[in-house]
Structure 1
Amino acid sequence: MADTCGQVLLGSGLTVLSHPLMYIKVLVQVGHEPLPPSLGRNLFGRQVYQLPGLFAYAKHIIKIDGKAGLFNGLAPRLCAGTIGTLVHSRVLQVGLTNTQKAEEGSLQHVVNETTKEMIARSCATIVTHPFHVITLRCMVHSICVYTIYSHVILYNMGLIPRLLGDVLSLWICNMLAHLINTYAIDDSVSQMDLGFCHLFTGPMQFFASMLTYPFVLVSNLMAVNDCGLAGGLPPYASIYPTWVDCWRHLSLEGNMSRGNSLFFRKLPVGKTYAIDQKRFF
């Protein structure tokens, strides 16, 4: 119980610290561009037109809504994090009674542990998904004119791509870790220096998140799609019957990585933006 409370407190603290970053990322994902492109330099020193980066975007939000504006949608996100941690911990404690015993470090052991973690994460995601949708809509509501919220079941909005992204990311990360520990690291090193092995965890998680980012983007767009907010309605956004239609549309536009980078945001070729210096779209 003490461990779970510690996880909740730590998770809540990290959520508060990272919330402005997530808020700006979500606004970029839904296509909100309140600032015009500016002339800057890319990584090779060449002059190019770039969309506003993280700090410019944050300054604009502070100018319009104050520093508190960077924390729109924080309350439901904290609820989602707390409930998700409790559900995740409880499911792991219950465990799987029919799990086959396997030698630690073997492929079967990795599969068993990853399956347990997958089930725990999926349960937490399903339970907290309504709070996740509310969080995203609070964020979009802060910069959108709205009409009337559509009374739909929140579970229907972006849950499937979110689950698929979480599951794929988990399996990619764990299987890469197993391959590296098995074939790239000497047995004596892996047994004597676990910290050395854990150095690969961060890069592998980053690599997995990059591969599964399109699922995150599609899930977030579907959470606000056709919900009554201007940001989820034409002309600012297309209406997608299903998340597959959203995926196809983004693929055709070449926008599957929109919002993935908040520092070097290159202006897409042939893309024009209806820039509005007000807070709304």
Structure 2
Amino acid sequence: MPTMLERDDNETEYEVNEWMRFGLRLGVSTALHPFEYAKVLMQIGFEPIAPVPGRTLFGNPTMILPNVFQYAAYIKQVDGFAGCFRGLSAKILGNLLSAHFSERIADELGLEACEGKRGKKKDDRVESELDDDDDGVALDDKFKKQLKRNLVVHTAGVIISQPFHVISIRMMAQFVGRERIYSGLWQSIREIWTQDGVFGFFTGFVPRLLCDLGCLVISSSATYLASKYLIREAEGRVYFSSISQFVVSSMFYPYHVVSTCMIVNGSRLRAGSLPNMEPYRDWRDCYAKLRAAGNHKRGNSLFFRYSASRPTKMSPAGAGYAPYPELKKF
């Protein structure tokens, strides 16, 4: 039986490892931010580069839109290298606060992590705690316990990070109209508070929360059922979990698009106003209109992007399309 000192050492090592993993994820997120920036602009329908004639993977003629690398290269061409990281500071701050306080909230509510997870990564899914020697009762208990904790952690995380997520998205959406309304964190907070009050910091919150919790519950449940009835090997469970997360996230992706559009819609940015974006009553109206127009999965494919017709270019000056940028070293 471990002594008190050994338990304290294990707890300290666990916390250090968690922050090291979080720091690594933060570094990767920072490096990939230009591509996330491009994806946000795709989601709100901004297509500054003309599509070119081409063919699909099945040989059908279509119009091909620039991929994420060409899009990021265009952003760099317009705003320079530093401009590719617009909105990053707010995103990092939101992630830091969310990661710290969401776990604390779960602990305060008495929702402790499974015993087998000490010294391991606190994964948001269930495959890490579903070991090969688990019997049915232990598997059921661990699944229910971890799912309850993850629901609280994810909900708290979205609530805490949403104001910074709104600021980050609007900072990036300024690229469309070349505004400087959201130039800094405090200026952005003052702008949102003045225009919309406290509720302005939570625009797009509901579809984002539905997307996050929907992915969590369905992918976790699928992994649990597969681990209990189909897959006994730990490696197979990990593979199945990754596949299920990918499939489920694709299913809920339209809610991600709706959240991004609702964050921009109704603001003073040109990207969220006519003629660039029609007004939406609420997120349900936004989802219905995007789905009716076939735009509810904008930005889902980052490499093979097709357009059935020539898209309408968002441009404050009404200028022509930009040429395809050369893919130089980023």
Q: TM-score, normalised by structure 2?
A: 0.75
For these two proteins, the number of residue pairs brought into alignment is 269
- Which of 232, 246, 264 is the aligned partner of 2:304? 264
- Which of 7, 13, 38 is the aligned partner of 1:24? 38
Structure index of larger Rg: 2
For 1:98 and 1:129, locate their aligned partners in 2 and report how far apart those are by CA, in whole Å.
25
Give the match's secondary structure for 1:13: helix
| 1:49 maps onto 2:63 in alignment | yes
Contact 2:76-2:83 at 8 Å conserved across structures? yes
Task: State which drifts further: 219-228 or 53-62.
Answer: 53-62
Structure 2 equivalent of residue 83 of structure 1: 97
- Residue 277 to residue 70, structure 1, CA distance change in 2 (3 Å): farther
Structure 2 equivalent of residue 247 of structure 1: 287
Residue 69 of structure 1 and its aligned partner are, at CA, apart by: 2.2
For 1:110 and 1:268, locate their aligned partners in 2 and report how far apart those are by CA, in whole Å.
44
Contact 1:4-1:89 at 8 Å conserved across structures? no
Contact 1:4-1:85 at 8 Å conserved across structures? no
Residue 97 of structure 1 and its aligned partner are, at CA, apart by: 6.0
Give the match's secondary structure for 1:71: coil
Q: TM-score, normalised by structure 1?
A: 0.87
For 1:262 and 1:14, locate their aligned partners in 2 and report how far apart those are by CA, in whole Å.
18
Instruction: List gaps (5 residues or longer) in structure 2.
Output: 1-14, 114-135, 182-190, 323-330
Partner AA of 2:206 in structure 1: I
- Residue 147 to residue 241, structure 1, CA distance change in 2 (3 Å): farther
- Which of 164, 171, 179 is the aligned partner of 1:131? 164
Give the match's secondary structure for 2:84: helix
- Which of 103, 118, 125 is the aligned partner of 2:151? 118
- Which of 164, 186, 209 is the aligned partner of 1:163? 209
Partner AA of 2:273 in structure 1: L
For 1:97 and 1:199, locate their aligned partners in 2 and report how far apart those are by CA, in whole Å.
27
For 1:82 and 1:194, locate their aligned partners in 2 and report how far apart those are by CA, in whole Å.
31
Residue 233 of structure 1 and its aligned partner are, at CA, apart by: 0.3
Residue 264 of structure 1 and its aligned partner are, at CA, apart by: 1.3
Note the 1:129-208 alignment, pairs <5 A: 129-146=162-179, 151-152=195-196, 153=198, 154-185=200-231, 190=232, 193-208=233-248
Instruction: List gaps (5 residues or longer) in structure 1.
Output: none
For 2:64 and 2:151, locate their aligned partners in 1 and report how far apart those are by CA, in whole Å.
39
Give the match's secondary structure for 2:49: coil
Residue 159 of structure 1 and its aligned partner are, at CA, apart by: 0.5
Task: State which drifts further: 222-231 or 108-117.
Answer: 108-117
Deviations 1:234-255 (A, max 9, x none): 0000111211111111121121
Residue 63 of structure 1 and its aligned partner are, at CA, apart by: 1.4
For 1:244 and 1:97, locate their aligned partners in 2 and report how far apart those are by CA, in whole Å.
33
Q: Could you list the structure 1 runs, at least 4 aligned residues long, displaced by more than 2 angstroms after superposition.
A: 44-48, 91-99, 145-150, 153-156, 274-279
Contact 2:46-2:313 at 8 Å conserved across structures? no
For 2:99 and 2:254, locate their aligned partners in 1 and report how far apart those are by CA, in whole Å.
25
